[in-house]
Structure 1
Amino acid sequence: MHQFPPRLDSPVAFAMARTMLEGFNRHYRLFRQVSAAAKERFERADWAGQQAAQRERIAFYDQRVDEGAERLQKELDAGSQPMEVWQQAKLHFIGLLINHHQPELAETFFNSVTTKILRREHFNNEFLFVRPAVSTEYIENEEPAAKPTFRVYYPHTHAALHGCLRRAIENFQLALPFEDLDRDVGQVLEAVRKRFGSDVRLRANFQIQMLDSLFFRNKGAYAVGKVINGFAEFPLALPILHNERGQLYIDTVLLCEDDMLLLFSFARAYFMVDMEIPSAYVQFLRSLMPRKPRAELYNALGLAKQGKTLFYRDFLYHLRHSSDQFIVAPGIKGMVMVVFTLPSFPFVFKVIKDFYPPQKDTTRDKIKGKYLLVKQHDRVGRMAETLEYSNVAFPRARFSPELIQEIETYCPSQLEYDGDTIIIRHCYIERRMIPLNIYLQEADDAQLEAAVIEYGNAIKDMVAANIFPGDMLWKNFGITRHGKVVFYDYDEIEYITDCNFRRVPPARCEEDEMAAEPWYAVGPHDVFPETFGQFLLGNPKVRAVFMKHHADLLDPVFWQEHQSRIREGHLYDVFTYEASRRFPRPLDAPAHSHPITMETPS
């Protein structure tokens, strides 16, 4: 227990706190630098550089944590300090966060460094931030030259709307000219009028609020804001793209919460956005998407460790206010993972098995490498975000006997008992979806058709991102509440450019065709698209829909052509909105039409 008032008489404790804050400040400074540079990369159309920066930024956090732990050990012998010194270090740290602009991120960094140094039995509320200690409400940068989190525009008449919105776009100060900004702004306002009516009265409080920094991902920049009119509020997001002559244009306008949920989906790559006060951005985005957990918004902004922290707090809170048991997840069991879930909590927990059947030539390290590949890759709305945790504690009484037996049988190395607690040494956590094989069994004809079309679109979008899913069985895909098909089983994924797509050689004789094993040599990276139908199209209704819309997936030429374009450096566009939402451009043919498929939200 703490003394009251607490003692703060250890100079070592203060030095530890200051060292950790210096480590965090260095981390966030570097994080902001690479995020802010996204604007220049966008202006140069340096898409490869944007992708490389995205991958590098993901590694920043762990690098800074390692540096911080090493410095604390080397300079202050932190691991040997008594627990009282660690308690004081936490209290000093809280004091140092007064007027800090990223206190919630700094607290998480403190936890990461502390748990890196100390043993698990010492992790407790006295010197970890299990709950936030410093509020993030109403944080402001008081420096005279500081930019606000968002800018507000007040067009008092319908006639003033055009100039007001044009000024909002120009204030982002993009270095490239627009193809025709007046045309684009006019199309935005026309779309707004169609949605809300041309005779809408502008109330006294009518305003447009735009976040001050653009959001960069893939080959697009997004201006994100909202419109307030009386008691009505609605989102306003404008995707800005390059044309074939190095000019810019606004591609469409996104105007509802579902649009925003798809834009900030858990199945998409992180945005690059320059934020002085990230909590203010999260608060603004939550006003547009009140159903979106704060954890997922921090993830979407590239602050994945903070997302993990908030997710775990939400999880502990849910455990305290629920009583159901963890069970083996329904559906076909996987060959490399034990998957379990808590029915009242919309996520699944995946633990790598200790051994695999002969057809799975893999290892634990290889599987972890596949999940890391997905984390660092553009997930194009088709690959679920995974949260990776070590040494997760669960109440033993909440595990069903069947689940305990499953883990003891298939992954005993990942299981540890500590009194009334079960420790899972390593696991992945993903948003729970309905497995596509189960969905298809229960779907009516219209639902089946839509799901099969979406399944093919999902594969084609992954192809656009240079990802071959490997195991394309229906059970490895899920369907979201928006009707989106998302892939979630990553142990066999490969880069498209690493695969060798081949035709099946003709059989030499009738015995070849009847043989259980192929009559032709198969290399480790060989893929035969013509054989996919044997495993996917046993249901006649499924087969009819698939062959109507996605028969090209069974032709190696489809894969080879896209493989060649990727190797040539072509980066495909994949958007969160359907093609019909895009504004017409009367000049040349659009340079950013999707070469494979457009995503179609429900």
Structure 2
Amino acid sequence: MNHFPKLLSSQIGFDLAQTMLEGFDRHYRIFRDAAIRAKELFEAGDWHGLQRLARERITSYDERVEECVELLEDEYDAENIDDEVWQQIKLHYIGLLTRHRQPECAETFFNSVCCKILHRSYFNNDFIFVRPAISTEYIENDEPAAKPTYRAYYPGKDGLAATLERVVTNFQLEPPFEDLTRDVGCLMQAIHDAFGEFEEAANFQIHVLSSLFFRNKAAYIIGRIINGDVMLPFAVPIRHAKPGVLTLDTVLLKREQLLIIFSFSHSYFLVDMEVPSAYVEFLRTIMPGKPKAEIYTSVGLQKQGKNLFYRDLLHHLSHSSDQFIVAPGIKGLVMLVFTLPSFPYVFKLIKDAFPPPKETTREQIVAKYQLVKRHDRLGRMADTLEYSSVALPVSRLDDALIKELETYAPSMIEYEGDNLVIRHVYIERRMVPLNIYLQNGTDEQVEHAVKEYGDAVKELMQANIFPGDMLYKNFGVTRHGRVVFYDYDEIEYLTDCNVRAVPEPRNEEDELSGEPWYAVGPHDIFPETYGTFLLGDTRVRQYFLAHHADFFTPELWQRHKDHLLKGELPDFFPYDQSIRFCVRYPERFVGAASHVGQASNAATQPAAGTAATADEAAVKVA
């Protein structure tokens, strides 16, 4: 251990703290640069470039942490610094954050660096930020040229139409709009259809976040309408009506619709935020009840989301008494899954060994989960939070769960005092397994779920994902009724698969055989065989063939593969296409056939209903 005089110890602590903060500032500059670049790519219609940018940004945080760790070890031999210096580092770091605009994220970066350097026995001591040290309330960028977190507009002065048009034009997008006056008219009509005539109160105003939210082929305007003591949330997606020409696609006025576009099954937004905590607080006003952890994650600050989620878990454990149990449902061959009934998440460990017919390794499974993290999830694949060295009180673990852990994943656990430490775990939002939902659902629910399942797999195809194991148990139903895939150990890129038709039987013996009479390569897929394990239930078969009869034809799968090989990227809509302005108000789009035609050719992604009532959409202002 190094031992320094007190004065020298303080100076070294300051130098180390400043080095760590410089590492974070470099990370956040790159993070913001990605959002600025996203605007340029959106304007240019460079969808492949946007996909690459989103993938690269996800890995950037870990790269900056590694850079900082290497610098601290090379210049300061950080691993051998004694406790007194580490305490000085944290105190100086806090001092450096007093006027910082991203203090909560900087604290998380500090923790990430420390946990790379220190043994986990230090994780809960005074050397890291177990709780936030700097308040994020009322942080604003007070530089004269800086844009505010949100802009306020007052329709009473210039009229609602002119105000809404100014809301759009203030984002200064380079391409022209096909017909902004028409689109604003549709926007006003949709608000009227949803809420009818309403009397403008003295405080009637519109608040709009100052940055656009970019994802897939859309840029979202996010805001809220204040009228009296009522607050109405809204999101307006901007899309390309045709190359180089923009249009307002629709307006989302229901809280449920916003929850879907900010859900755990979608990829992270690219959004430029000088003060991320202020953006999160704004978003919480229009999505009350949504955890901060999930909002930070959805805007691309997934490490901050992980940090807050873990704090939420610890807080929940201290205010609950139920036990972790093995998750209900069919047990998997690869993952051991458990849950805490009072907490809406599942915890997944990779087992130490996999029985036949599974032929995989731990490293391959980890790679599959990393693939999903970087891929465009399109609202159809659950996001995962990956943790190392998670300590849970043994007293909170059910005996049957402990037995499962000791039997199937002994290398992943160890006991430390009163805790069981899990070396590596994935955490996902808990959903109702689709197989259980289909068993217990009404006819209407089964039809909806079956249609959703087929839509989900078809959309995954278009995103170049072949699920591999398509059994219903590997899909879940969210609280919004959407079907989402969550078992990734067998996924492949569709472009890596060989789509094949089943050869004709050579004779009667082939026809009666329970085994394939033809050679099957490791990447061969046979869509005609999927009905064997998907259509066993009479109700499921009826609805499946009614909505997705083409699912079992090799032509469907090959067609999507061919489109991907040509570099084509389809349009995806995280809302029901019936509410798109070009569909809802077709009379306004006469002469804009290219835009209207887009609705019938693109992938449908059902979401919440098409109309909102004032009670459903309105949130009382606190």
- The TM-score normalised by the length of structure 1 is 0.97
| Matched-pair contact (CA < 8 Å) for 2:9–2:85 | no
Separation (CA, whole Å) in 2 of partners of 1:493 and 1:287: 37
Give the structure 2 partner of residue 153 of structure 1: 153
Give the SS at the match of 1:228. Answer: strand
Separation (CA, whole Å) in 2 of partners of 1:212 and 1:490: 37
> C-alpha offsets along residues 35-63 of structure 1, whole Å, 9 cap, x if unaligned?
11100000110100000000000011100
Give the structure 2 partner of residue 295 of structure 1: 293
1:64 aligns with 2:69: no
Uncovered stretches (5+) of structure 2, i.e. residues with no partner: 1-5, 583-588, 610-622
1:408 aligns with 2:415: no
1:219 and 1:515, CA in 2 relative to 1: closer, same or farther beyond 3 A? same
> C-alpha offsets along residues 356-380 of structure 1, whole Å, 9 cap, x if unaligned?
1121111001101111111101111
Give the structure 2 partner of residue 79 of structure 1: 79
Give the structure 1 partner of residue 608 of structure 2: 601
Q: CA deviation at 1:236?
A: 1.7
Over the residues paired in the alignment, what is the CA RMSD in angstroms? 1.3
1:419 and 1:550, CA in 2 relative to 1: closer, same or farther beyond 3 A? same
AA matched with 1:563: K
AA matched with 2:29: R
Give the SS at the match of 2:528. Answer: helix
Give the structure 2 partner of residue 588 of structure 1: 593
Separation (CA, whole Å) in 2 of partners of 1:592 and 1:412: 53
Give the structure 1 partner of residue 26 of structure 2: 26
Give the structure 2 partner of residue 92 of structure 1: 92
Q: CA deviation at 1:124?
A: 2.3
Give the structure 1 partner of residue 3 of structure 2: none
Q: CA deviation at 1:572?
A: 1.1
1:104 and 1:8, CA in 2 relative to 1: closer, same or farther beyond 3 A? farther
Aligned pairs for 1:198-217 within 5 A: 198=197, 200-217=198-215
1:349 aligns with 2:354: no
1:181 aligns with 2:180: yes
Give the structure 2 partner of residue 50 of structure 1: 50
Separation (CA, whole Å) in 1 of partners of 2:350 and 2:199: 58
AA matched with 2:607: T
Give the structure 1 partner of residue 41 of structure 2: 41
Aligned pair partner of 2:549 in 540, 548, 551: 551
| Matched-pair contact (CA < 8 Å) for 1:147–1:212 | yes
> C-alpha offsets along residues 217-241 of structure 1, whole Å, 9 cap, x if unaligned?
0011111111000011111211000
Separation (CA, whole Å) in 2 of partners of 1:177 and 1:477: 42
Separation (CA, whole Å) in 2 of partners of 1:68 and 1:532: 50
Q: CA deviation at 1:518?
A: 0.7
1:170 aligns with 2:169: yes
AA matched with 2:285: S
> C-alpha offsets along residues 91-129 of structure 1, whole Å, 9 cap, x if unaligned?
110000011000000000000000100111122231110
Aligned pairs for 1:17-416 within 5 A: 17-156=17-156, 160-198=159-197, 200-416=198-414
Bigger mean CA offset, 238-247 vs 228-237: 238-247
Give the SS at the match of 1:260. Answer: helix
AA matched with 1:529: P
Separation (CA, whole Å) in 1 of partners of 2:288 and 2:482: 20
AA matched with 1:546: F
Q: CA deviation at 1:195?
A: 1.0
Q: Which runs of 4+ in 1 moved over 3 A?
A: 6-9
Ranked by relative contact order (alpha carbons within 8 Å, sequence separation 6 or more), the top structure is 2
> C-alpha offsets along residues 445-472 of structure 1, whole Å, 9 cap, x if unaligned?
1111111111111111111211111111
Separation (CA, whole Å) in 2 of partners of 1:364 and 1:601: 38
| Matched-pair contact (CA < 8 Å) for 2:9–2:84 | no
Separation (CA, whole Å) in 1 of partners of 2:7 and 2:339: 44
> C-alpha offsets along residues 169-218 of structure 1, whole Å, 9 cap, x if unaligned?
000000000000000001001110111112x1111100011100000000
Give the structure 2 partner of residue 3 of structure 1: none
Separation (CA, whole Å) in 2 of partners of 1:9 and 1:245: 60
Separation (CA, whole Å) in 2 of partners of 1:596 and 1:536: 22
Give the structure 2 partner of residue 573 of structure 1: 571
AA matched with 1:47: W
AA matched with 2:182: R
Separation (CA, whole Å) in 1 of partners of 2:571 and 2:404: 42
Q: CA deviation at 1:601?
A: 2.6
Percentage of pairs with the same residue: 60
> C-alpha offsets along residues 522-579 of structure 1, whole Å, 9 cap, x if unaligned?
0110000000000111001100100010111100000001110111111111111111
Give the SS at the match of 1:87. Answer: helix
What is the number of equivalent residue pairs in this alignment? 595
| Matched-pair contact (CA < 8 Å) for 2:265–2:380 | yes
| Matched-pair contact (CA < 8 Å) for 1:8–1:88 | no
Q: CA deviation at 1:140?
A: 1.1
Q: CA deviation at 1:8?
A: 9.6
Bigger mean CA offset, 257-266 vs 9-18: 9-18
AA matched with 1:265: S
Separation (CA, whole Å) in 2 of partners of 1:271 and 1:131: 26
Separation (CA, whole Å) in 1 of partners of 2:134 and 2:598: 45
AA matched with 2:448: A
Q: CA deviation at 1:245?
A: 4.0
| Matched-pair contact (CA < 8 Å) for 1:460–1:597 | no
Give the structure 1 partner of residue 487 of structure 2: 489
| Matched-pair contact (CA < 8 Å) for 2:573–2:603 | no
AA matched with 1:595: A
Give the SS at the match of 1:393. Answer: strand
Separation (CA, whole Å) in 2 of partners of 1:552 and 1:476: 21
Give the SS at the match of 1:573. Answer: coil
AA matched with 1:569: G
Give the structure 1 partner of residue 535 of structure 2: 537
Q: CA deviation at 1:597?
A: 2.8
Q: CA deviation at 1:9?
A: 5.3
AA matched with 1:600: A
| Matched-pair contact (CA < 8 Å) for 1:574–1:599 | no
1:196 and 1:514, CA in 2 relative to 1: closer, same or farther beyond 3 A? same
Separation (CA, whole Å) in 1 of partners of 2:25 and 2:395: 41
AA matched with 2:133: A
Uncovered stretches (5+) of structure 1, i.e. residues with no partner: 1-5
Separation (CA, whole Å) in 2 of partners of 1:600 and 1:396: 41
